């Protein structure tokens, strides 16, 4: 499949399918590119947000990451300059309209290839989600983005993963053979007819984690008719980062890459990448890999346990969580169809209740037991429920 074919798909079916008027009633959020999450994994929770964030949304599609980042920074009156870059004119127009509805400023819209990202940089932050796995040469994409980073900059990336997309690739291959040369509209119509006739036992129809095909024509086409789509295992993703001079800095749900709940100490002899690969293979549910990355040798760990760090709870709800801990002495995280239970001292409830995105950890602990707070961090940070950031400071 050529670049022109891929471009034709996204001109016909901009992805994801969005209505600009919906911006009046909701904000779509998710990882990566949540400012406090970025700060936690990329800058040790200590970025000076009074300084403008120069960001690139590479392969921005219809604008989810763009709108999220611009709106959240606007809400807290933090300066930014965001460049949106995508090959699809149709997708760009939808992204522009969404920004117009929200009256967002500080955005430059560019139609082009992410392989030219360096021409628009350098950038403090780059978001690239759902794009690299569609390139003819994904490694060239990793390399181009790495070359567009400013010193100290970082990325938030998402690529497809194989196990959680079981059933997708046989259908893509079959539809590609059957409908080669047809325009996108005819490909979609014929593929839907064949799809309806598939037996219920088909691996795709038994994969309940895949829903894009049920969410409009753009979702069906992108999932099942894309002609250039290669998934990455976590090992392959780490290799691509390494070749681009990048290093893994963390994941919004890092706990899913830990196989210990499944194998105990059975992974003790493995290196970090082998350990993550074991978790991916055993869980078998990863549809995507969402990670943060920085240049090799520049990774800054989150400021766990540091008195001057400022914790944020994702979605707020400190009082409710504190009450639950005070009553049960545990925190339960339910994600990707798996429940994780963490024992937390009941006395941690008083600390959790003070987490407001403004108080430092030193103030919250007030000389309390460091081990008690460590139990809170162990439950909430690897699960993406708590981050350290000075966004509001």
Average pLDDT of adjacent 10-residue blocks, the chain of 393 residues: 86 96 97 98 98 98 98 98 98 98 98 97 97 97 98 98 96 96 94 96 93 94 95 98 98 95 92 97 96 97 96 92 96 87 94 95 85 95 96 87
Please give the pLDDT value at position 270. 95
Please give the pLDDT value at position 5. 85
Please give the pLDDT value at position 248. 98
pTM comes to: 0.96
Contacts for 222 with CB less than 8 Å, ≥ 6 apart? 9, 13, 15, 16, 212
Take residue 372 and report the two structure tokens written for it. 């008690």
Place of tokens 């940089």: 121
Compute how many other C-beta atoms are within 10 angstroms of the C-beta atom of residue 370.
Answer: 11
Please give the pLDDT value at position 292. 98
Q: Is 329 exposed, middle or buried (0-12, 13-18, 19+ CB in 10 A)?
A: middle
Please give the pLDDT value at position 168. 97
Radius of gyration of the chain (CA): 22
Please list the residues that pair with 211 across neighbouring strands.
Answer: none
Q: Which of 222, 281, 314 is nearest to 35 (CA)?
A: 314
The domain ranges of the chain are 3-160+232-295, 164-224, 311-388
Compute CA 381 distance to the chain's CA centroid, rounded to the nearest angstrom: 16
Q: What superfamily would CATH give domain 3-160+232-295? A: Vaccinia Virus protein VP39 (3.40.50.150)
């Amino acid at each position: 499949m050529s670049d022109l074919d891929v471009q034709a798909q996204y001109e016909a079916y901009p992805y994801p399918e969005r209505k600009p008027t919906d911006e009046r009633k909701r904000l779509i959020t998710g990882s990566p590119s949540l400012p406090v999450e970025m700060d936690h994994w990329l800058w040790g929770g200590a970025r000076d947000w009074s300084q403008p964030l120069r960001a690139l949304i590479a392969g921005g599609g219809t604008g989810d990451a763009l709108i999220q980042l611009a709106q959240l920074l606007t809400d807290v009156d933090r300066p930014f300059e965001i460049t949106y870059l995508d090959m699809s004119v149709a997708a760009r127009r939808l992204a522009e309209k969404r920004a117009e509805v929200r009256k967002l400023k500080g955005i430059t819209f560019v139609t082009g290839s992410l392989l030219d990202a360096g021409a628009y940089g350098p950038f403090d932050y780059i978001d690239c989600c759902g794009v690299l796995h569609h390139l003819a040469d994904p490694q060239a994409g990793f390399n181009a983005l790495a070359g567009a980073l400013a010193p100290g900059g970082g990325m938030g990336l998402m690529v497809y993963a194989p196990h959680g997309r079981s059933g997708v690739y046989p259908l893509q291959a079959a539809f590609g053979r059957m409908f080669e040369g047809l325009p996108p509209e005819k490909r979609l119509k014929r593929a839907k007819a064949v799809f309806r006739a598939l037996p219920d036992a088909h691996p795709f129809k038994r994969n309940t984690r895949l829903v894009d095909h049920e969410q409009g024509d753009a979702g069906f086409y992108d999932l099942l008719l894309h002609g250039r789509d290669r998934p990455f295992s976590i090992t392959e993703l780490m290799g691509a980062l390494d070749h681009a001079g990048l290093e893994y800095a963390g994941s919004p749900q890092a706990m899913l890459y830990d196989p210990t709940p499944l194998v105990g100490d059975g992974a003790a002899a493995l290196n970090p990448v082998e350990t993550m690969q074991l978790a991916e293979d055993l869980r078998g549910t990863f549809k995507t890999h969402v990670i943060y990355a920085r240049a090799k040798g520049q990774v800054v760990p989150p400021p766990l346990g540091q008195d001057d760090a400022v914790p944020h709870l994702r979605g707020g709800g400190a009082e409710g969580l504190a009450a639950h801990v005070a009553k049960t002495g545990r925190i339960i995280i339910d994600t990707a169809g798996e429940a994780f239970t963490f024992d937390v001292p009941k006395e941690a409830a008083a600390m959790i209740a003070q987490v407001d995105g403004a108080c430092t950890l030193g103030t919250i602990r007030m000389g309390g037991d460091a081990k008690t707070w460590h139990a809170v961090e162990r439950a909430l940070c690897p699960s993406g429920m708590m981050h350290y950031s000075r966004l509001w400071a």
